[in-house]
């Protein structure tokens, strides 16, 4: 069995007491969307990706299957591939199968167990590849591990349209940070969800099985466990809708009754119908996205879409 040594920056998953209370005390109550991904939430998210209504995963996989060799050609030989939020690295082999002599693969994820396991699997599958996992919160600065061979180019891989979960100003900041990590001549391959029929978007975040509802409500269970909160999940409703003015899905938890909840010893009052905003998922068109990345020092070199124009994978180079 291949042994991979993990660079552990000991990230804290979740949110601090201050962050949670600040969000719940603001006029529009909110919680950081990273709280959705505890162990159970991550399992629910995997289930969401397999749902009939949740088109992004399948659309992105179709694009990767059809065009990964083109992508590898744009990336070129001897790259260092850095994957942000690698999770179970399911899409990575589609790319690795086509890359010309990659110097190393650096998956970065906050979830230590999943990172270790997926790194071991990849090291077994690609015995000649240096696999250098980094356990870190990739939104904070981190050091890249050293490699045996020098890379011709550093290329970041950020699939899954996760950039859409940042508000545009934060997305720009994050893209600049990736630019700093990749350096001059660097590249970035990322998945982006496109604007489309709002009913299709609505269905993707309101699935018939209620998996997205369970994913959203699980954040309250997490607060009960980690912040000694007293949320009754039956007194909140999952509510997700597409807001065309901001081109984003907004996911909320709406209080069904007037109620008081204790969170970390602090009393939080809810009116009937008042919501906690738990996630935003921005959708773009190609030109808006090009403007966004341009403002962050990147240039769209190439774009691939599926036959229904639902999703796009873009290869960006540093301007
Ligand atoms: C991770 N992220 C890209 C997903 C999305 O579509 O914004 C998270 C998600 N939330 C509800 N369903 C999926």
176-223 residue pLDDT tens = 999 999 999 999 999 999 999 999 999 999 999 999 999 999 999 999
Q: Is a pLDDT exceeding 90 seen at residue 66? A: yes
Q: List, in order, residues 6 or more apart from 299 with CB less than 8 Å away.
A: 293, 316, 317, 318, 319
User: How confident is the model over 71-79, as a mean pLDDT?
Assistant: 98
Average pLDDT over residues 20-47: 95
Of the pLDDT bands very low, low, confident and very high (cuts 50, 70, 90), residue 27 is very high
Instruction: Tell me the C-alpha distance between 283 and 250, whole Å.
Output: 11
Rounded distance from Cα 127 to ligand 1 centre (Å): 33
Q: What is the pLDDT of residue 1?
A: 42
Where residue 256 falls among pLDDT bands split at 50, 70, 90? very high
Atom index in ligand 1 nearest the CA of residue 56 equals 6
- pLDDT of 227 over the 90 cut: yes
Nearest residue (CA) to ligand 1, atom 5: 281
At residue 42, φ and ψ (nearest 5 deg) are -65, -35
Residue 7 has pLDDT above 60, yes or no: yes
Alpha carbon nearest to ligand 1 atom 4, residue: 162
What's residue 162's pLDDT? 96
213 C-alpha vs ligand 1 centroid, how far in Å?
A: 12
- Residue 31 CA to residue 21 CA, distance in Å, equals 9
Answer yes or no: is pLDDT of 300 > 80: yes
Report the C-alpha gap between 120 and 1 in whole angstroms. 8
What pairing do the DSSP bridges indicate for beta strands 104-109 and 29-30? unpaired
Residue of higher predicted confidence among 215 and 39: 215
Q: What percent of the chain has pLDDT over 90?
A: 89
Pocket test for ligand 1, best of 34, 37, 43, 45 (most atoms within 8 A of CB): 45
DSSP 295: T
Q: What are phi and psi of 135, to 5 degrees?
A: -90, 105
Q: Which atom of ligand 1 is nearest to the CA of 161?
A: 3
DSSP label at 54? Answer: -
Binding pocket residue ranges, ligand 1, CB within 6 Å: 48, 160-162, 164-165, 205, 212, 279, 281
Average pLDDT rounded to a whole number, residues 260-279: 98
Cα 53 from Cα 204, distance rounded (Å): 5
Which of 242, 279, 313 to mutate to test ligand 1, by most ligand atoms within 8 A of the CB atom? 279
Report the DSSP beta bridge partners of residue 104. Answer: 80, 130
Is pLDDT of 309 > 80? yes
Asked if pLDDT for residue 87 goes beyond 90, the answer is: no
**Nearest atom in ligand 1 to 216's CA:** 11
Could you read off the pLDDT of 272-286 as tens digits, one per residue?
Answer: 999 999 999 999 999
Ligand 1 atom 9 nearest Cα = 45
> How high is the mean pLDDT of the chain?
95
User: What DSSP element (H or E) covers 267?
Assistant: strand 266-270
Q: What pLDDT digit, counting tens, does each position of 128-186 carry?
A: 999 999 999 898 888 999 999 999 999 999 999 999 999 999 999 999 999 999 999 99
Q: Which of 85, 82, 193 is nearest to 139 (CA)?
A: 85
Lookup: tokens for 8: 């552990």
pLDDT of residue 10: 80
**The tokens of 254 are what?**
């709406």
Whose CA is closest to atom 1 on ligand 1? 162
Res 274: pLDDT: 98
Residue 11's pLDDT is what? 82
Output the CA 275–ligand 1 centroid distance in Å: 19
Residue located nearest, by CA, to atom 7 of ligand 1: 281
- Angstrom distances, CA of residue 191 to CA of 68, 120, 145: 13, 25, 25
> How many CB atoms are located within 10 Å of the residue 66 CB?
14
Nearest to 96 by CA among 143, 57, 56, 131: 131
2 CA distance to ligand 1 centroid (A)?
33
d(CA 170, CA 179): 14
CA distance 172 to 293: 7
Counting ligand 1 atoms within 8 A of each CB, the residue from 205, 218, 313 with the most, and so the one to mutate, is 205
Mean pLDDT of 281-300: 98
Distances (CA, A) of 201 to 56, 219, 264: 10, 22, 35
In this structure, what DSSP letter does residue 210 have? -
Confidence at residue 2, expressed as pLDDT on a 0 to 100 scale = 59
Paired tokens of 19: 């962050």
Q: Is the pLDDT of residue 31 over 60?
A: yes
Alpha-carbon 112 to chain mean position: 16
What whole-number distance in Å separates Cα of residue 168 and Cα of residue 230?
A: 33
Rg (CA), the chain: 20
Best probe residue, ligand 1, of 165, 242, 310 (max atoms within 8 Å of C-beta)? 165
């Amino acid at each position: 069995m291949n042994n991979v040594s993990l660079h552990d920056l000991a990230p804290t998953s979740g949110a601090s007491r201050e962050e949670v209370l600040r969000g719940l005390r603001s006029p529009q109550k909110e919680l950081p969307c990273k709280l959705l991904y505890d162990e159970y939430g991550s399992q629910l998210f995997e289930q969401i990706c397999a749902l009939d209504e949740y088109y992004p995963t399948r659309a992105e996989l179709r694009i990767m299957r059809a065009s990964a060799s083109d992508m590898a050609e744009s990336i070129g030989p001897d790259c260092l591939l850095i994957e942000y939020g690698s999770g179970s690295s399911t899409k990575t082999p589609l790319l690795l199968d086509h890359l010309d002599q990659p110097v190393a693969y650096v998956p970065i994820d906050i979830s230590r167990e999943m990172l270790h396991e997926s790194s071991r699997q990849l090291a077994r599958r690609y015995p000649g590849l240096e696999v250098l996992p980094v356990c870190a919160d990739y939104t904070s600065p981190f050091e890249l591990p050293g490699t045996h061979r020098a890379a011709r180019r550093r290329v970041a891989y950020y699939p899954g349209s996760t950039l859409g979960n940042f508000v545009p100003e934060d997305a720009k900041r994050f893209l600049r940070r990736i630019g700093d990590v990749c350096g001059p001549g660097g590249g970035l391959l990322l998945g982006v969800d496109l604007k489309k029929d709002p009913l299709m978007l609505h269905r993707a975040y309101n699935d018939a099985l209620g998996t997205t509802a369970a994913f959203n409500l699980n954040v309250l269970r997490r607060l009960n466990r980690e912040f000694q909160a007293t949320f009754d999940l039956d007194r909140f409703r999952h509510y997700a809708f597409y807001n065309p003015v901001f081109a984003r899905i907004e996911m909320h938890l709406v209080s069904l009754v007037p109620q008081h909840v204790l969170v970390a010893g602090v009393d939080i009052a809810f009116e009937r119908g008042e919501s906690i905003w738990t996630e935003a998922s921005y959708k773009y068109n190609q030109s808006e996205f090009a403007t966004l990345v341009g403002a962050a020092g990147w240039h769209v070199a190439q774009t691939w879409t599926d036959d229904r124009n639902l999703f796009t994978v873009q290869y960006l180079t540093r301007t």
